[in-house]
Amino acid sequence: MHASPLPSPLSFNRRQFLKTTAAVVGAAVAPNFIPAKALGKDGFVAPSERIVLGGIGLRNRGGHDLNWALREADVQFVAICDLWRESRERVKKTVDTKYGNNDCKMYPEMREFLATRTDLDAVLIATGDRWHAMAATVAMRAGKDVYSEKPSSMTVAEGRMVVETAKRYNRVYQTGTQRLSEPNHIFCIEMARTGGLGKIHTAYAHIAPWDAAAMKTEWMPAQPEPPKEELDWDAWLGPCPWRPYNTAYVHGAWRGNYDFHTSCIGEWGAHTFAQAQAGIGASESSAVAYEYVNNESGDGMVTHFANGVKMILARDLNKRYWHGSCGERFDGTEGWAAAADGYSRPDVSSPLLLTQMKRVIGEYAARTGRSLDHMRNFLDCVKSRDITVANPMVMHHSMTTVHCANICMWLKRDMKFDPAKERFIGDDEANRLLSRAMRAPWHA
C-alpha cells in the first residue's frame, strides 16, 4: 500500500493547510502528554516543589507528627526507619493508604537508611528522648533537614552538638515545641516581649505534675531479648549504658529513668521554658542562677536571668497560674497574661488586653513571615532556608535551663551558671553532669 501524496502547492488551500498542520502537530505532541499532577496543576504540587520526607522512630507521638505532615500537599513521605518491626509496618500502612500505593520503604537501621535514601530532603524524628540529639546530628551530617520531637537533648553537651552540626552543615532544624506557633501562646509571648504588660518581672513555666526530678538508676529484671528482626535492643539503647532487656522499657517505662529521661522538669519544661524564655527576651540565653527547693520535683524553684527577670517552675496543682497543661504566664507592672492547652483564648488580667489579640497576632505574622502552624513553619523553611521558630539556638538555650534546673535538684544546692561559657561557676561536680559518656558505636 502506498501513502497518498500531499496535494500540490497550487491546490493546497487554507482549509487543507490547517487540517494537515493540526494532524501533524497533534501526532507530534500526543506521545509527550504531561499530566496535570506532574505540572503542579489542578491542585497538585509539581515534583520540583515537593519535599521528600522520611521518618525515624515514628511511634506514638511520632504518629501524630506523621499525620500532621501528610496533610500538606507539598510533602511526599517515602520511607520509614524504625528498629521496631511492628512500628515500621504500621507507618508503611498509614503512608501507603494515604497515597493509594505500596511505595513506602522500610529500614531497620538508621545509618543505612540515611546513606541509602539520598533523595530525602528532611526527616521527622520521634524516637525516645535518649535518641533525639544523636539521630538529629547523624541526619544533618547526611544532608537532611530535621524536625525533632522534644526534649531535643539529654545534656547541655548534646544540645551544643545539635547547634554546631546544624550550623556546620547548613541544615534547617525545628524542635517540636509547637506552642511557639499557636496563637494563644504567641499572644502572651508577644505581649510580654513588646511591653504590652509593662515591665516583666516574673514568668512562670509549667513542669509535669508527676514523677520526680531525681530519677531511678536501678535496672529492671532481665527478660529474654526478642529476635533482632522484631526489635534491635542494642540499637534501642543507643548511646545509653547497656542494661538487660525488659519489655516494660519499650512500652514507656523508660520514663523516670536517669539514662533515658529528663525528669518531670524536662517532660513539660522542654516546652514551657522555651515559651517563657521567648517572652522575657531570653531565647538565646539561659538562666544564670538557680535556687534549690527542698521537694522532689523542683516545684517553686526560682531561676534568674541576666536581664533581672525571674522564671519560676510550677506544677500548679491548685490552678493558680493556668488551668491546662504546658502553660506559661508573664507578670508585668501593667498586667499579666497566661495560656495553656485547652484554652479558647488566653487568660489575662484585664479583658481590654484581649481586644489587642488580632493586632498582636497580625503584627507577629507580618514581622516574622511565619505560619501559625508549627509543621508548616518547618516545611516552609526547608524550601526558603529561613530560620525556624524553634531553631537550634532556641532549643539549646531552653533545654540548657532544663538541664541546669535538674542538676540543681540532684545536687541539692543553689547554683550560678555562665550561659556564654556553658559552665557552672565554681562547681566542678555540677560541671561533670553537663555531659554523659556515649556508648560505642552509638555516638556521633
Beta strand 310-314 with 105-107 is unpaired
Confidence of residue 47 (pLDDT cuts 50, 70, 90): confident
158 domain residue, yes or no: yes
254 domain residue, yes or no: no
Residue 19 pLDDT exceeds 60: no
DSSP state of 101: S
**Computed from CA positions of residues 344, 349, 350, 356, in that sequence, does the dihedral angle turn out positive or negative?**
negative
State the chain's mean pLDDT as an integer: 92
Global pTM value? 0.90
388 domain residue, yes or no: yes
For residues 398 and 302, membership in a common domain is answered with: yes
For residues 280 and 168, membership in a common domain is answered with: no
Task: Provide mean pLDDT across the span 214-243.
Answer: 96
- Per-residue pLDDT reduced to its tens digit, 94-145: 999 999 999 999 999 999 999 999 999 999 999 999 999 999 999 999 999 9
Beta bridge partners, 53, equal 77, 122
SS3 at position 338 = strand
The total number of structural domains that make up the chain: 2
pLDDT in the model for residue 216: 96
For residues 117 and 184, membership in a common domain is answered with: no
> How far from the centroid of its chain's Cα atoms is residue 238's Cα?
20
pLDDT in the model for residue 43: 58
> Which of 154, 178, 202 lies at the terminal end of a domain, its last residue?
178
For residues 278 and 409, membership in a common domain is answered with: yes
> Which of 150, 178, 206 lies at the terminal end of a domain, its last residue?
178
- Per-residue pLDDT reduced to its tens digit, 333-347: 999 999 999 999 999
Task: Provide mean pLDDT across the span 170-191.
Answer: 98
pLDDT in the model for residue 343: 96
DSSP state of 420: T
1 domain residue, yes or no: no
pLDDT in the model for residue 168: 98
22 domain residue, yes or no: no
78 domain residue, yes or no: yes
Q: Give, for 53, the enclosing helix (H) or strand (E).
A: strand 51-56
For residues 169 and 207, membership in a common domain is answered with: no
Range of the domain at 99: 47-178
173 domain residue, yes or no: yes
CATH code of the domain covering residue 319? 3.30.360.10
For residues 355 and 397, membership in a common domain is answered with: yes
For residues 401 and 289, membership in a common domain is answered with: yes
Task: Provide mean pLDDT across the span 245-255.
Answer: 96
**Do residues 327 and 339 make contact, with C-beta atoms less than 8 angstroms apart?**
yes
pLDDT in the model for residue 205: 98
319 domain residue, yes or no: yes
CATH code of the domain covering residue 125? 3.40.50.720
Confidence of residue 29 (pLDDT cuts 50, 70, 90): very low
Residue 198 pLDDT exceeds 60: yes
